[in-house]
Structure 1
């Protein structure tokens, strides 16, 4: 591999340039919208009650710290290599093009499954609760497909409009979540229902062996609780995937990612404490299909309960919209480098809309196929969410390992560095990611592991084809010489 000073990193020319339109709040909204605590907590709180009991919410702050460390490392890389494709670009240029391609493919596998997981929640749990009908595999399939179509159309039409919609949705989510959290504490105190002893109960899970790490094929009750944070606090790196459409990305993107994770962590913990402290009977609450809505309805009344459900729909739509935006940019970035199936078509950018329309259509077609595969299973949501938690953990672990190995050879950054905190951040991030990955040894994650395995086999098969037809030299990536200078030329419009 060439030294960092050797080769220019100018991205290849495409039919039309992307436009730098995103400022700090837009970048923050992308990171916040993908993570979406309203979506993550609403959909996984019930699973935590059943696997870990109310006490499981204390895994949340630990997960927040761990993911903040990961966000800091991603920020340091994004400041040095502000190119669409994030981890795919970083690993390709700093380590090995073959490993970079696999990282990009795993990221793609994550982005096509997580959007299905998120949007399927609207059809499977929220709309049935909101309108009082029974969900079936057929109506869940149709509703999810329509939601995903609307998101793809928005992304294809205009990045600016997509981000305006997302900014409004994120603002509504922040205001709504803060308002509901405050109301829960105030009303709960007034009616004397707040019971903070619930925060330390384990029922319906037994107290015996609660803290055990588990065996070779099973995780203990408390370790399973980390999945609440591990699923919810992912996707903050989507801001880095829009680097070529962000103003001053070296400074804006790291700040946006870290701010999003911290804000989500604090607000999410307060909301979890409020909901858990207001639970009448945690054993009965664990039986509810929508335990968060059940608590809020019982405390604030059915009208506020319905408003919460509408807020969750808005949050989930925003989350799916940002995932679609990020997924299409990854497909486009890999196609621009001539490394994705059908790259000749998918690399094109609309001259009128300045969006990768073809990549958006390609991404949408794959997500529809994923939906068709999973929608017929009885535990579709669990499988989808588990796969969408395992895949980013793999991506994060690989990227952190890359940073550890290459940190001494990284070119200096003008935007963001870890400075003297680098070693502590790396140690904490590594411990967190190893612990998180070990949770997935549990037998209940057999199907998600199967999905990951199948996608890896497909990806490796295509990579073998690329190497066979082009040779390793045909897959070489430009190393980092001077990203700032590369992005000052006319290949990317300001």
Structure 2
């Protein structure tokens, strides 16, 4: 196993830097620093995810669930710091897959990428389903199916599926049009989301009904440990996807310098804003005991505390954020699928790896991700519990995939193959690459431990969380079963390829490692 490569010296073009890894420049580099930040921030999308999962956190954790937020943010910042080091050294689309492969082996990296691909498809579906949390609250006409709009009811769940499919059609069209259109929508959407989130925070804190001391109470929902463990689901779901800035490296100018900084800044900005939204919602809610906060979440706080007019205007901003988040997540999943297909390690790789010469977009992966996400969203017709099962499954899968990067990275450090004292090369401007220095080892250790702990916490088959009505044991075990099925399908596919002799040393081009003078060397699978 070779040590991670120093980057080429400064003044190297973005295209030649990519060529050093054995890939041609097919995607169009049109993204600057703010667009890169927007890619990560819009995937996280605090307005989408806080509004979507606030009620879950409060229903199980009471006001105390707020304190899970800073804990999860701290853990994810450790992971993001590790990713920032890797983004500076490996500025390639399909970031998590590429990083895991180059730090470990083609086989291990393939499974990490496979889990991310499936997980991101589930995240796209979960994000699109979030429209149900705000659209009927803006106008009752958006409850197309009729009946109770709450996502936990049969009619609310069915309507969520309808709205999600409509949104996914639109985001898929944008994802096959042009990189400039997608990037512009991301930038505009993120700007609107940040302005809206700041405005909501200010308004909530000017309408507080109680003091901050209430956040030390569970609301009679069990002990503090259980409240924090389940309450952490909200923060865990919100604070993912910051690696999207790395996913878009091949479309970003000066990615070795830009991506590491936007990965961390997108997470930090979203973490601070999201934490303030959660705290403001708890303090400004008209009541903590009438049950509405546990079912309607922040939508109830906005329309009740701020009035119908202001509340609905802010909810419209949230709807925009949900649409942009769905677009950004689908884009990230598309780039991951494209990166793996380009290495020839997926079914229909030749088709999935095609980039339109007219638009510069990989249209095949966009269609696959959109169709798969729509199919998952339609599970909501089966049962309201599907919403929660889909949401927590995608979080657990991404946490597991992140561990598939921080784990091999830690092994490299312990072997002395990632030595912070060695010169690490320079970025496109000639400045030193982003590095954690002497803090790299402890940050890496805690990032891995945190990631594995949260994966187990999210996947734990709690009947009171996943199957509160009883009679649907498969929802209780949904995350475990889905992850197991994903791994089994991946193993079966690789076995069939090997049996046909399709996997060879050169076919797994993703196994290329990078080192001075030999960045395109292929590592034995």
Q: Taking structure 1 as the reference length, what is the TM-score of the superposition?
A: 0.89
1 CA distance for matches of 2:214 and 2:518? 53
1 CA distance for matches of 2:450 and 2:86? 19
2 CA distance for matches of 1:231 and 1:286? 21
What RMSD in Å do the two structures reach over aligned CA positions? 2.3
CA deviation string 1:337-363 (max 9, x = no partner):
111111111111011111111221222
Q: Are 1:480 and 2:506 counterparts?
A: no
| Aligned position for 1:412 | 424
**Which structure carries more helix by proportion?**
1
Q: Are 1:446 and 2:477 counterparts?
A: yes
Q: Are 1:96 and 2:105 counterparts?
A: yes
> Which one of the candidate residues 263, 267, 270 is aligned to 1:264?
270
> Which one of the candidate residues 103, 108, 121 is aligned to 2:117?
108
With 60-69 and 459-468 compared, the bigger mean Cα shift is at 459-468
2 CA distance for matches of 1:158 and 1:129? 33
CA gap 1:287/1:196 in 2 versus in 1, 3 angstroms: closer
| Aligned position for 2:336 | 330
- Structure 1 regions of 5+ residues with no counterpart? 212-219, 487-494
CA deviation string 1:146-196 (max 9, x = no partner):
1001111111101111111111111111111111211222244xxxx3432
C-alpha deviation, 1:283, in angstroms = 2.2
> Which one of the candidate residues 185, 205, 213 is aligned to 2:221?
205
> Which one of the candidate residues 273, 276, 298 is aligned to 2:279?
273
Contact 1:279 1:285 in 2 (8 A): no
Matches within 5 A, 1:343-492: 343-407=349-413, 408-410=416-418, 412-414=424-426, 415-439=433-457, 440-443=459-462, 444=466, 445-469=476-500, 470-473=502-505, 474-475=507-508, 477-481=511-515
C-alpha deviation, 1:314, in angstroms = 0.8
| Aligned position for 2:184 | 164
Contact 1:83 1:243 in 2 (8 A): yes
C-alpha deviation, 1:271, in angstroms = 1.8
- Structure 2 regions of 5+ residues with no counterpart? 7-18, 150-154, 427-432, 467-475, 521-525
C-alpha deviation, 1:74, in angstroms = 0.6
Contact 1:288 1:294 in 2 (8 A): no
> Which one of the candidate residues 14, 17, 30 is aligned to 2:39?
30
Q: Taking structure 2 as the reference length, what is the TM-score of the superposition?
A: 0.84
- The size of the alignment, in residue pairs, is 468
Contact 2:51 2:133 in 1 (8 A): no
2 CA distance for matches of 1:278 and 1:251? 41
Contact 1:116 1:371 in 2 (8 A): yes
C-alpha deviation, 1:406, in angstroms = 1.7
Q: Which has the higher contact order (CA 8 A, sep 6+)?
A: 1
